[in-house]
């Protein structure tokens, strides 16, 4: 970190997560956070410590990822944005850059997060959406999938849909404010879910079960039973990572 006065910078990012090992910096592998930190440090000429709103997994995309870090005082955020975009576009783009309150923290200041999951439900795959949508060839019962969403609303222990946290005993209670399916037409379906926070692999696990409901492998009413069970084995398979996108972070 630089010596002397500092300021807090807030970035709004979009990225195609294909080919990256998630956001968090990891030695020896390409990550979104690692590439971003490198581009920032070349411009700022000092090290940075990034805080992100959501640590997306390998292959997961973002349209509304938020990152905060401390920089030398007086930094030109417009120049910083241009420099990073020249280095990382089109896979990683800074949509906006601004100075923030010194107390702002991209993760801890967040009041809610919105994820979107996209499915192409058509007998024939579409090469132009293959990086951002899960192709499900068999017909899906959208009404049943919508009905199953009802059990997700409100505050629940989502242990059945989450990997065990690294800290033993950590709470997996989350407050889901909205969960809905939208038919976008031409075989494209979008699941959108908003919550105060999410636990690891929660959205992909939820979508995996909802698709099982849509395929007739599960009944919509079983969602209530699975949530109450708190058993990861009850939820079923994970949906593929590439259909998931961190859409928005709300402050």
The model's pLDDT over 195-215, given as tens digits with 9 standing for 90+, comes to 999 999 999 999 999 999 999
Structure tokens at 136: 């499900």
In angstroms, the CA 206 to CA 6 distance is 42
The angle at the Cα of 23, spanning 36 to 174, to the nearest 5 degrees, equals 135
Domain parsing of the chain, residue ranges:
6-100, 112-250
In angstroms, the CA 34 to CA 30 distance is 7
Catalytic residue among 16, 57, 70, 76: 57
What is the fold of 6-100?
Answer: Alpha-Beta Plaits (3.30.70)
126 is catalytic: no
The model's pLDDT over 211-238, given as tens digits with 9 standing for 90+, comes to 999 999 999 999 999 999 999 999 989 9
* Fold match flag (6-100 vs 112-250): yes
44 and 72 in contact (C-beta within 8 Å)? Answer: yes
Per residue, the 3-state secondary structure of 122-168, as one string, reads CCCCCCCCCCCCEEECCCCCHHHHHHHHHHHCEEEECHHHCCCCCCC
In angstroms, the CA 117 to CA 60 distance is 10
- Domain spanning 112-250: CATH 3.30.1360.230: no
The conformation of residue 27, written as its DSSP 8-state character, comes to T
The conformation of residue 243, written as its DSSP 8-state character, comes to G
The model's pLDDT over 137-186, given as tens digits with 9 standing for 90+, comes to 999 999 999 999 999 999 999 999 998 776 677 899 999 999 999 999 99
The pLDDT, as a whole number, for residue 5 is 86
28: left (phi over 0), alpha (psi -120 to 50) or beta: left
A 10 A CB-CB count for 166 gives: 7
The conformation of residue 220, written as its DSSP 8-state character, comes to T
**Mean pLDDT score, 31-53:** 97
Element (H, E) at 43: helix 32-44
């Amino acid at each position: 970190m630089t010596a002397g006065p500092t300021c807090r910078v807030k970035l709004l990012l979009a990225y195609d997560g294909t080919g990256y090992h998630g956001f968090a910096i990891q030695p020896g592998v390409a990550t979104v956070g690692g590439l971003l930190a490198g581009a920032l440090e070349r411009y700022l000429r000092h090290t940075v410590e990034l805080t992100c709103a959501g640590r997306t997994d390998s292959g997961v995309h973002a349209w509304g990822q938020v990152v905060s870090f401390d920089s030398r005082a007086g930094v030109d955020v417009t120049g910083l944005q241009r420099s990073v975009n020249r280095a990382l576009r089109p896979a990683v783009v800074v949509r906006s850059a601004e100075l923030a309150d010194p107390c702002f923290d991209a993760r801890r200041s967040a009041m809610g997060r919105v994820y979107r999951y996209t499915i192409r439900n058509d007998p024939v795959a579409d090469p132009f959406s293959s990086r951002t949508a899960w192709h499900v060839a068999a017909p899906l019962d959208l009404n049943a999938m919508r009905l199953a969403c009802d059990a997700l609303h409100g505050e629940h222990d989502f242990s059945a849909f989450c990997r065990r946290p690294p800290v033993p005993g950590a709470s997996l209670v989350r407050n889901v404010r909205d969960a809905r399916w939208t038919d976008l037409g031409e075989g494209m379906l979008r699941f959108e879910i908003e919550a105060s926070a999410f636990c690891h692999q929660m959205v992909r696990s939820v979508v995996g079960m909802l698709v099982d409901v849509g395929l007739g492998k599960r009944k919509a009413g079983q969602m209530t039973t699975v949530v109450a069970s708190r058993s990861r084995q009850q939820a079923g398979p994970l949906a593929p990572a590439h259909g998931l996108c961190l859409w928005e972070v709300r402050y």
